[in-house]
Chains A and B, each alone.
Chain A
Amino acid sequence: MAELVHEPFADATEQREAVALGMWSFLAQEMLFFGVLFVFYTTLRVHHPELFARFGPSLDWRLATAMTVTLLTSSFTMALAVRFAFERARRDLLVALAATAALGVAFLVMKGLEYAHHLERGETPTIDLAGLGPGAGVHTFFGLYFVLTGFHALHVIGGVVVLVGLFVVAARTRADALRPTPTMAVGLYWHFVDIVWLFLFPALYLVGRSSP
Chain B
Amino acid sequence: MSEPVPAPRVRTALVVLLALLLLTAATVALAFVAAPPELHVTLALAIATTKATLVVVFFMRLADELGAARLVTLAALVLLATLMLLVVVDLVESRV
Contacts and interface: CB of A to CB of B under 8 A. Distances in A.
Contacts of B34: 210-211
Given A198-B51, A202-B31, A79 B59 contact: yes
A152 interface: no
Q: For the side of the interface on B, what is the size category? A: 35 or more
Contacts of A195: 51-52, 55-56
Contacts, number: 157
Interface residues of A, number: 58
B87 to A, nearest CB: 5
Contacts of A46: 88, 91-92, 95
Contacts of A29: 76
B13 A76 contact: yes
Given A2-B3, A13-B4, A75-B55, A61 B80 contact: no
List the 8 closest A-B pairs by CB distance, nearest first. A28-B76, A206-B31, A202-B44, A82-B7, A83-B7, A24-B69, A76-B17, A86-B5
Interface of B: 1, 3-10, 13-14, 16-17, 20-21, 24, 27-28, 31-35, 37, 40, 44-45, 47-48, 51-52, 55-56, 58-60, 62, 65-66, 68-69, 72-73, 75-77, 79-80, 83-84, 87-88, 91-92, 95
15 contacts: A12-B3, A28-B75, A32-B76, A61-B31, A68-B24, A75-B55, A83-B5, A86-B3, A187-B59, A191-B60, A195-B55, A202-B48, A203-B44, A206-B31, A207-B40
Interface of A: 2-3, 11-13, 16-17, 20-21, 24-25, 27-29, 31-32, 35-36, 38-39, 42-43, 46-47, 49, 61, 65, 68-69, 72-73, 75-76, 78-80, 82-83, 86-87, 180, 184, 187-188, 191-192, 194-195, 198-199, 201-203, 206-207, 209-211
